[in-house]
Structure 1
Amino acid sequence: MSAISLLICDDSNLARKQLLRALPAGWPVAVTQVETGAEALELIRAGGVDLLVLDLTMPGMDGYQVLAALRREQLPCKAIVVSADVQDEAVRRVLELGALAFIRKPADPVHLYQTLASLGLVNDQIALVTRGSGETIGFRDAFREVVNIAMGRAAALLARVLGVFIQLPIPNVNILEVGELHMALADAARGDKLTAVCQGYIGGGIAGEALLLFHDSEVSEMARLMRRQDYREMEMLLDLSSLLISACLSGIADQIGVTFSQGHPQVLGQHASIDELIRLNQPRWKRTLAVEISYSLEGHDIHFDLLLLFTEDSLDLLSRKLAYLMN
């Protein structure tokens, strides 16, 4: 089999490293890596790219837009999507746009091999032995990709419950001092009145609090989507918070080998401004590893923000748990 020109397009260093590790070691392939959809299209337009392995959630031009451009311009390049967005609708859309296959992150070497073989890109003379990757990954990039995968799993569950397509962001991962955290919360609020649901978690020495911020103007529409007209607002918010927070934490826990125990969700402030929420909870928020995920529901003016706030004492343990991914 002649060498194949493979282009990997993903904004995460860790995701690209994991994909390289999953490729069959004996596969004659020349690999090029890019971080943006625009870069991928530029190389494909120049010619010589046989196969594109593409992420969906990227800054600027996302994977859907890349696939649409490949189809529109009739560019002769096969495409496989490898994504954390595992919603049924996401899979349907990428296949409709011309992708030959969809693989969930992180790519399982056996599944990847079987997919490549089914497309005639590898043959049975190539052994399924994965190759190494010597690149060292930083903590923030590694944890962002872990969160990205967990976020995608949670969105798939939420999409089934609500019957809508969830538009996923690129998660923000930052280590924030208490003042910076307050600023981030104020920015998330966008000046609206909101209600926040808080749920503590701990496992394997790693602890923190999850905050789900709902904008009051959107609560009644959320209740309608939950298909329960008799829902009291707080009951609906607590149920939805428990579902989304549990799914995200479970996705993280599965990847780092811990089990989180969760406290009961609590309403921090109903119809309160973000300033009031900060004032009430300032003693509990110190220097923290803050993860921000802003969910949007397609076709609805509904947005809500999930914040995972890991304690400062958790950072060293998280780094050790991620070491196998980073090295």
Structure 2
Amino acid sequence: MTPAILICDDSNLARKQLARILPQEWQSNVVFAGHGAEALATLKRQAVDWLFLDLNMPVMDGYQVLAELQNLQLPVRIVIVSGDIQPEAHERVMALGALTFLKKPVNATELSAFLQTKAAEQPAEPAAPKPHKIPDEVQLDAELRDILQEITNVAMGQAGDLLARLLDVFVKLPIPNVNVIEVSELTMALASVEPESKTSAICQGFIGSGVAGEALLILTDSSFEDIARLMNYQGELNSAVELELLMDISNILIGAVLKGIAEQVDMSFSQGHPVVLGQHAPIAELISANSKRWRTTLTIELSYGIESYNINCDLLLLFTEDSLKTLRYKLAFLMD
């Protein structure tokens, strides 16, 4: 029986080149996907025996697809085909269930030898990922979430007020989103932020008495033109100017939000030097390049918008697991 083949790559040329060197009898049963989300939709809709998967793609990259396939437990054999030949990339995809890693452009002889070895084997059921049990002392119950949400709401309002006064605008403030999540879930959550837009991002560490974490500010590239206009910048926009504007916005929002939270829990935060995670790239690429930076359980997401302007800004506060223990102790006094 001819196996069902899915080739997922954002390059039409790469898809066709790979299809041509597959076994002749397989070529009548090949379908294509241009990004990871399209591949997942196909995999959920129909049975696929072999998935040839690129890593760096828009909308949803190969790492995200591998992580989702572990959750779905679909009996599909996965071959990574990528130009990213870093040792860490190889290690990560193999840990996520890939059978092998082939570098682009794929060598026909190498592919043939691999398929002859593996084609006769029955696909192994994917191993269920071992769940990480979050300790009881850092579980987020309804009462604690409500307290954190209200404290963050007040701090977000203070930051929004500062921004509104500086720019003479009305700042739209949605309800903060507070969750305790694992690192793998954090990566997927971040990937859902403006998934189809180019973004720029800054990360800034902070530390207080028993509390530490990082603030991550993500700004869509489409926001820069209006930000420059609001800040009365008259010159031509370029990467250096946009970076300066990004720094200005991050200094206002991150500093004000942390100050607002610190005052309410009776502590102070020291802030590290801001680090540029990237400019003009899909958020998934920024995450892939920096995923090892975040080891967090408590995530607070704040989304800012400015009325009548095309400005979209997401601020995420990422606290360490130990920080939640300290925060729980501090917040208990607010309820007495």
Contact persistence 1:137–1:326 (CA under 8 A): no
The C-alpha deviation readout for 1:143-170, integer Å capped at 9, x for no partner, is 1100000000000000011111001100
Helix, strand or coil for the counterpart of 1:286? coil
Aligned-partner Cα distance in 1 for 2:170–2:194: 23
TM-score (norm 2): 0.55
Aligned-partner Cα distance in 1 for 2:217–2:308: 21
Aligned-partner Cα distance in 2 for 1:267–1:241: 11
* Cα RMSD after superposing both structures: 1.6
Aligned-partner Cα distance in 1 for 2:331–2:215: 20
Deviation at 1:142, TM superposition (A): 0.5
Contact persistence 2:265–2:330 (CA under 8 A): yes
Contact persistence 2:200–2:281 (CA under 8 A): yes
Contact persistence 2:212–2:320 (CA under 8 A): yes
What does 1:288-299 correspond to in 2, within 5 Å? 288-299=297-308
- Unaligned runs of 5+ residues in structure 1 are 1-135
Matched residue, 1:287 = 296
Give yes or no for the alignment of 1:229 onto 2:234. Answer: yes
Contact persistence 2:296–2:318 (CA under 8 A): no
Helix, strand or coil for the counterpart of 1:161? helix
The C-alpha deviation readout for 1:91-125, integer Å capped at 9, x for no partner, is xxxxxxxxxxxxxxxxxxxxxxxxxxxxxxxxxxx
- Unaligned runs of 5+ residues in structure 2 are 1-140
The C-alpha deviation readout for 1:225-274, integer Å capped at 9, x for no partner, is 11222471111110110111000000000000111000111211111211
What does 1:85-96 correspond to in 2, within 5 Å? none
Contact persistence 1:138–1:326 (CA under 8 A): no
Q: 1:321 aligns with which of 306, 309, 330?
A: 330
Aligned-partner Cα distance in 1 for 2:150–2:198: 31
Deviation at 1:137, TM superposition (A): 7.2
Aligned-partner Cα distance in 1 for 2:163–2:321: 30
Give yes or no for the alignment of 1:164 onto 2:173. Answer: no
| Structure 1 runs of 4+ with >3 Å offset | none
Helix, strand or coil for the counterpart of 1:209? strand
Matched residue, 2:160 = 155
Matched residue, 1:308 = 317
Aligned-partner Cα distance in 2 for 1:250–1:203: 11
Deviation at 1:286, TM superposition (A): 2.1
Identity %: 56
Give yes or no for the alignment of 1:259 onto 2:268. Answer: yes
Helix, strand or coil for the counterpart of 1:196? strand
Aligned-partner Cα distance in 2 for 1:186–1:216: 16
TM-score (norm 1): 0.57
Matched residue, 2:258 = 249
Helix, strand or coil for the counterpart of 1:191? coil
Deviation at 1:138, TM superposition (A): 1.4
Give yes or no for the alignment of 1:206 onto 2:215. Answer: no
Matched residue, 2:72 = none
Matched residue, 2:197 = 192
Matched residue, 1:12 = none
The C-alpha deviation readout for 1:174-199, integer Å capped at 9, x for no partner, is 01111211121111123111001111
Contact persistence 2:215–2:315 (CA under 8 A): yes
Contact persistence 2:222–2:310 (CA under 8 A): no
CA 1:326–1:180 in 2, change beyond 3 Å: closer, same or farther? Answer: farther
Give yes or no for the alignment of 1:139 onto 2:144. Answer: yes
Aligned-partner Cα distance in 2 for 1:161–1:227: 12
Aligned-partner Cα distance in 1 for 2:278–2:220: 12
Matched residue, 1:183 = 188
Amino acid at match of 1:225: L
Greater C-alpha Rg = 2
What does 1:94-105 correspond to in 2, within 5 Å? none
Helix, strand or coil for the counterpart of 2:175? coil
What does 1:99-138 correspond to in 2, within 5 Å? 138=143
